[in-house]
Every structure is written in C-alpha cells, then in structure tokens.
Chains A and B, each alone.
Chain A
Amino acid sequence: MKYSILVNEGPYTHQASDTAYQFTKAALEKGHEIFRVFFYHDGVNNATRLAVPPQDDRNITQRWSELGAQHNLDMVVCIAAAQRRGLLDEDEAKRQGKDANNIAPGFRISGLGQLIEAGIQADRLVLFGD
C-alpha cells in the first residue's frame, strides 16, 4: 500500500514526530511504499540540522535523515510554515538575503501543493499532530 505521512508538530515538545517515525519505519519494514513525508505547522522544525540534543537522547532530525537516505524518502518541509519559523535551505537563504541556512540532509522545502498531491497519490494519508 502507498502511504503519505503528515507531521504537524515539532520535535521533542510533542510525541507526534516520534510516533510518525515509528509508524513510517514499521510501514517500510512491512514492504509498504511511502510516497512522501510532509512536515507542516511546527513540524517544519524537525528539519533543522542545528539541533544538538543530549547524547543520551534520540536525535530526531538525524533519525529522519537516516531513514530518508536508507529508503530514498521524499521528505518535504512546507515553505510557508518554514519561512515563518526560520527554516531555510540554501536557495531560500539566498533568495531572502539571509546569511545562513539550516536544513538537514534529506529534507527539501516546497509548497503546500505537495501535501495535497500526497493526499491524492497515496492510498492512505496518516497524520500525526497535537
């Protein structure tokens, strides 16, 4: 079956990203296809490469990046939500005249249309939020 995953909350404050990760991993291990993982609202904060969680804790962003690399996941961060919250990739940083970018490997920034497409293309859209 083809899945799309929507993550609506940021890391650590809410469990949403953790549950989404465990669900996605289980779905992949069962041989399902993940069409896209879309990050919205504070969920865009899952994509920052600048977080430094304590060593005895999970690194939520790195975990997504690794799962993404392993399974070639399309991990999309909503551009409108990202701009509000200071998440930038290299192109966006240049376009907005900012002196840095902070997006982690494996994530890409794109429009909300990608979420609608994810809903259209997948057999199931599974949403994790608050």
Chain B
Amino acid sequence: MAKLHTVNKSPFERDALEACLRLAKKGSAVLLIEDGIYGAMSGTAISDKVKQAMSDVSFYVLGPDVAARGMKEDKIIDGFKIVDYNGFVDLTTEYDGVHAWL
C-alpha cells in the first residue's frame, strides 16, 4: 500500500519529518502542511536530506500554508508539487491511506 504521510511541524523544532522520512516506504508520498512547509525550502540545514529522499518518495507542500508564512514559491526545493486544499483531498484518494506524523 502506498501511503500519504502528512507532516505539520517545522523540521527545525521537531523530529516529525525525520521520523516520517525514516519510515516512509518507497512509492509513498509526503505532504508538508502548517509549520511543516519550512521543510520544503531550499538552502536549509535539512534540504539535502529531503532531496535525497525524493528518489523514493513524492513530495507535496500545501500552498496556502506557504503563502501564509511569507515563504516564496521560488524557494521551494525543485521536485515539490504545490497543492491547495482540493489537491490535499485528491492526494488522500490517490494514496491508500493517510498517516499523520505528529
């Protein structure tokens, strides 16, 4: 089963993204929401780790949370797809289940 993993915490404050990347199976997807969107930014202490994971896992980021925080879309790591809430819903139907990393 390919799962959709959601992460809502900044990778600089909590280990949720790290735990998710450690345990997400190849072919699954990670959606960064709320404070989790900081993990999608390039040029950070964690961006290399995210880029490495991209060979196995698809990455998405919730656009409304990016905009709300004043982060620029052109700073998002290449390979991320930006989705809105409709896209979030679509992802939950495309994947077999949702695992929220709290």
Contact = CB atoms under 8 A, between A and B. Distances in A.
A and B touch in the complex (CB under 8 A): yes
Contacts of A125: 98
Pairs A-B, 4 closest by C-beta atoms: A26-B85, A127-B100, A129-B102, A22-B85
Nearest to B85: A26
Interface of B: 8, 33-35, 64, 84-86, 88-90, 92-93, 97-98, 100, 102
Q: Is the interface of A mostly helix, strand, loop or mixed?
A: mixed
Given A15-B8, A30-B89, 11 more contacts: A1-B93, A15-B35, A16-B8, A26-B88, A30-B86, A32-B89, A32-B93, A124-B98, A125-B98, A128-B8, A128-B100
Contacts of B90: 30
Q: Is the interface of B mostly helix, strand, loop or mixed?
A: helix
A19 B33 contact: yes
B86 A19 contact: no
Nearest to B88: A23
